[in-house]
Amino acid sequence: MARVMRRATSVVFSLMLVSCSVAHAKEAQLTLHVSGWHCAMCPAKTEASVKKVKGVQQAQADFDKKTLAVTYDDEKTGPKKIEKAVVKAGFEVAK
């Protein structure tokens, strides 16, 4: 149990470090139109998948508008990789 706690703490610390470096990183924003969302779980799944992309700082899905707003470090990732993550989650990026 204590080990799990320690691990959780170190995760929090590394997250803090990440958000610190994010403040100095180059930020870019992208809004994708996603098709294929049929329930509330779909946007959540898409967000989770996109957030796993290295360099993505934030992913905010809007189920009603069918959009996904992504904030990312454009030195670490780009629209292509982000779109790939959407596809990987099982959805399509509408052009």
Identify the residue among 30, 34, 42, 68 touching Cu ion (CB under 5 A): 42
Identify the residue among 5, 24, 41, 80 touching Cu ion (CB under 5 A): 41
Is residue 34 at the binding interface for Cu ion, with CB under 5 A as the rule? no
Helix count (H) and strand count (E) of the chain? 3, 4
Q: Are 48 and 90 in contact (CB under 8 A)?
A: no
Question: For residues 34 and 56, which CB has a smaller minimum distance to Cu ion in the complex?
Answer: 34
**Tokens representing residue 72 in the block:** 């990312």
The contact set with Cu ion (CB under 5 A) reads: 38-39, 41-42
